Copies of this chain bind each other. A is one copy, B any other.
Amino acid sequence: MKLIIAIVQDKDSSKLSNALVEADIRATKLSTTGGFLRAGNTTFLIGVEEDKIETVLAIIKESSQKREQYMAPPINLDSPMEATHTYPIEVQVGGATVFVLPVDSFYHF
């Protein structure tokens, strides 16, 4: 048994939750504060047997790895005519930080 702690962006949180449920893997979500350190992240606690670790890591990677996304740029309110010249900009979203911790013992009461 290992304990996987995965920290993902809020925007990827329900995608990851759904993927874990589908794979029949139980997880607990911890809310993060609205603070300025990694604000808007969700922490998952996932207990897994050794032979499921690779599966869980693949699910986390698939659900939340860093990727490029195109968004509409913010509209310049000072010169709204400029808006007609704007193009979508590329931004980086997602990303996960994952710790796999050893577990001395595990109980289910």
Per assembly, the copies of the chain total 3
Report the Cα distance A89→B101, complex, angstroms. Answer: 41
- A32–B35 touching, CB < 8 Å: no
- Given A31-B30, A31-B33, A109-B64, verify A97-B47 contact (CB < 8 Å): yes
Report the Cα distance A47→B106, complex, angstroms. Answer: 16
Residue numbers in B under 8 Å from A64 (CB-CB): 109
Query: Using an 8 Å CB-CB cutoff, how does the interface string of A69-109 with B read, 1 for contact, 0 for none?
Result: 00000000000000000000000000111111111111111
Instruction: Provide a sorted-by-A list of 14 A–B residue pairs whose CB atoms are within 8 angstroms.
Output: A13-B35, A17-B36, A26-B38, A28-B43, A30-B30, A30-B31, A30-B32, A31-B31, A61-B107, A64-B109, A98-B106, A99-B105, A100-B106, A101-B101
Give residues in A with beta carbon < 8 Å to B: 1-3, 5, 7, 13-14, 17, 20-21, 26-33, 35-38, 41-43, 45, 47, 57, 60-61, 64-66, 95-109
Nearest 5 pairs of A and B residues by beta carbon: A65-B109, A98-B107, A96-B109, A31-B33, A100-B104
